[in-house]
Amino acid sequence: MPAGHGVRSRTRDLFARPFRKKGYIPLSTYLRTYKIGEYVDVKVNGAVHKGMPHKFYHGRTGRVWNVTKRAIGVEVNKQVGNRIIRKRIHVRVEHVQPSRCDEEFKLRKVKNDQLKAEAKAKGEVISTKRQPEGPKPGFMVEGATLETFTPIPYDVVNDLKGGY
């Protein structure tokens, strides 16, 4: 028989619940608030069949564009041929979790504001731009002794006899 092309085809392991994470869904999943513009990760929960997105969107990150009673609208990029389309899908809250993709950016923003405030108090001008890591500093090796090795001459006749 040929393989099927259904909506949930080839999702046996993809939608399976993780090890020791089977059973009831924690209440925090339902009590979490989502705001428009936030980044969320689409992570399908195989235990809930309602409001389940297509397998393509599993593991994708998108932005919230709509919030309804039980679901949220997520805007996800999808490559189709040579172009990228912004797809808007509604996904139930069980299949979504807050993304940590801009966590480092927000922390850096707070740190930069703090550094700017300190520099302004001192009367200095600082640059908060990220710089690539430069080359490692050079050093001198001390206490090293030189040892000279010379190869043993190769003798074909003795080698055939099993010599040395």
Mean pLDDT of 128-142: 94
What's this model's pTM, rounded to 2 decimal places? 0.77
- C-alpha radius of gyration, the chain, whole number: 30
Residue 154 binned pLDDT confidence (cut-offs 50, 70, 90): confident
Selection from 121, 21, 36 nearest residue 74 by Cα: 36
User: Does residue 91 contact residue 72 with C-beta atoms inside 8 Å?
Assistant: yes
Mean pLDDT of 121-138: 95
**Is the pLDDT higher at 159 or at 77?**
77
The model's pLDDT over 76-109, given as tens digits with 9 standing for 90+, comes to 999 999 999 999 999 999 999 999 999 999 999 9
Residue 155 binned pLDDT confidence (cut-offs 50, 70, 90): confident
Mean pLDDT of 49-71: 97
Residue 114: both structure tokens together = 């703090």
Q: How many CB atoms are located within 10 Å of the residue 24 CB?
A: 6
Whether 160 has a pLDDT exceeding 70, the answer reads: no
Type of residue at 103: E
**Please, is 113 exposed, middle or buried when counting C-beta atoms within 10 Å of its C-beta (0-12, 13-18, 19+)?**
exposed
Whether 70 has a pLDDT exceeding 70, the answer reads: yes
User: Does residue 125 contact residue 115 with C-beta atoms inside 8 Å?
Assistant: no
Mean pLDDT of 112-131: 95
